[in-house]
């Protein structure tokens, strides 16, 4: 009987972990004024009729804190990369000499930083909602298992306590991620 609860909690933890990992990936893409290759991850380049990520057709680096440098593996792809960056509407303007594409990051104004903080806080809240949804689903499954006599009432209460404890841990983790990103944005 305890195996039912263990499996349920493990499955819930896996889903919660994926939800938090998704937030971590999204936070990398949030512009902080410091160059990061993650800023151009969403850019898809038209390469021989297929849409592919920039890092599959070029070497992407950050030579300094304010510049992303893209060196296409094939010189003919440079124009397509430039168009893709502009079309992605991520607020960056590429500059090319035909061989190397440089994407300078403009300095963030105080107003823009505050907007970015609002955006990441919203992302954090959405992640917390996802974690809480996982908790709700797990609790419903515990109640169903109790109703179906797969677990006792005591086991059900213990399981719900564990579910709540794991949920609280993930919520704290989300808060720490958001707090860290907020400091990063405001301190540049």
Residues 181 and 163 in one domain: yes
pLDDT > 70 fraction of the chain, expressed in percent and rounded = 97
Whether 148 has a pLDDT exceeding 80, the answer reads yes
| Percent of the chain whose predicted confidence (pLDDT) is above 90 | 32
From the CB of residue 118, how many other CB atoms can be counted at a distance below 10 Å?
10
Query: What domain range includes position 10?
Result: 2-29+109-186
Is the same domain home to 43 and 18? no
Query: Looking at the 3D structure of the chain, how many domains does it have?
Result: 2
Q: Is the pLDDT of residue 1 over 50?
A: no
Specify burial of residue 16 (Cβ count, 10 A radius: 0-12, 13-18, 19+). Answer: buried
pLDDT of residue 137: 94
Query: How confident is the model over 113-141, as a mean pLDDT?
Result: 91
**Residues 79, 114 within the same domain:** no
Picking from 45, 78, 104, the residue at the C-terminal end of a domain is 104
Tell me the per-residue pLDDT of 69-98, one tens digit each, with 9 for 90 and over.
Answer: 989 988 888 888 888 888 877 777 888 887
Sequence-ordered list of residues with C-beta below 8 angstroms from that of 16, at least 6 positions apart, any chain: 131, 134, 166, 167, 170
- Asked if residue 172 and residue 125 are part of one domain, the reply reads yes
């Amino acid at each position: 009987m305890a195996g039912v609860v263990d499996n349920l909690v493990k499955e819930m933890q896996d889903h919660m972990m994926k939800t938090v990992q998704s937030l971590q990936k999204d936070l990398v893409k949030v512009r902080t004024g410091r160059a990061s290759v993650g800023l151009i991850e969403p850019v898809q380049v038209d390469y021989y009729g297929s849409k592919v990520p920039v890092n599959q057709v070029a070497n992407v680096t950050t030579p300094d804190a304010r510049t992303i440098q893209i060196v296409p593996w094939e010189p003919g792809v440079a124009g397509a990369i430039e168009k893709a960056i502009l079309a992605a509407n991520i607020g960056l303007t590429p500059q090319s000499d035909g061989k190397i594409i440089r994407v300078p990051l403009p300095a963030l104004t105080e107003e823009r930083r505050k907007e970015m903080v609002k955006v990441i806080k919203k992302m954090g809240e959405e992640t917390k909602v996802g974690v809480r949804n996982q908790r709700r689903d797990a609790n419903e499954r515990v109640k169903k298992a109790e109703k179906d006599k797969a677990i006792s009432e005591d086991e059900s209460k213990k399981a719900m306590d564990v579910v709540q404890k794991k949920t609280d841990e993930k919520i704290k983790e989300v808060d720490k991620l958001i707090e860290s990103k907020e400091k990063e944005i405001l301190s540049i």
